Amino acid sequence: MDNEKEKKTGRPEKFVEFVIGLCQKDKGAAAALRRADNPATEYQSWEYLAGFNIDLENPFERIPYATIAAAISRAKAERNGSAGIGKAIAYCYDDKSASDQAKARLRRLLACDSVKEACRILRPLFSLIDSKAAVTIDYSRLLKDLIDFGYDSNKVKTKWATDFYRHAAESATEEVEA
């Protein structure tokens, strides 16, 4: 049982390391992976996803892995980050989680009903985060969340909201202490 749990928790981390290493070594692979989250061009990344034993016939597995691979490749990530998706969204704005725009983006993500929809909504968020946030996403944690989304979406959404709003509480505490 413990080995089974270790496999499940270790696979997202290993995949993120695999993609980062692959993108650094092979520009062609990086280009193919950048297109992995576009339904019209995702087939170009299947060679690399299949190389990591991703079940290409299972959209609940293929789409989250493809989305994360595309995000890593586009961001030209050199390492896995530590920021959850909620924190990363908040850090795109000066007011952090007090920003109405940040709240609207989070609400749209939380309104998703399926893994496919969540991955589609994340795509433009990755571009925003790469250009504005001073944090790097924890891709392995986000991948695990996307995989779990199909089983317990409310738990995943709660994690994302907590990650987002936790920073509002931290900011308020810092202002009171100052």
- The CATH number assigned to the domain holding 141 equals 1.10.520.40
Residue 2 maps to a domain: no
Residue 126 maps to a domain: yes
Residue 6 maps to a domain: no
Residue 1 maps to a domain: no
Q: State which amino acid sits at residue 25.
A: K
Residue 37 maps to a domain: yes
Residue 68 maps to a domain: yes
| Number of domains the chain is built from | 1
- For residue 79, what is the DSSP state? S
Residue 72 maps to a domain: yes
Tokens coding 19: 């993609």
Q: What range defines the domain where residue 41 resides?
A: 11-175
- Cα of first residue to Cα of last residue in the chain, in angstroms, is 49
Q: What predicted TM-score, i.e. pTM, was given to this entire model?
A: 0.87
Residue 148 maps to a domain: yes
Q: What is the pLDDT of residues 130-163, one digit of tens each?
A: 999 889 999 999 999 999 998 999 999 999 999 9
Q: Within 10 A of 153 (CB to CB), how many other CB atoms are there?
A: 17
Which residue do the tokens 């690399």 mark? 48
CA 81, distance to chain mean position in Å, is 10
Q: What is the pLDDT of residues 74-123, one digit of tens each?
A: 999 999 999 999 999 999 998 888 889 999 999 999 999 999 999 999 99
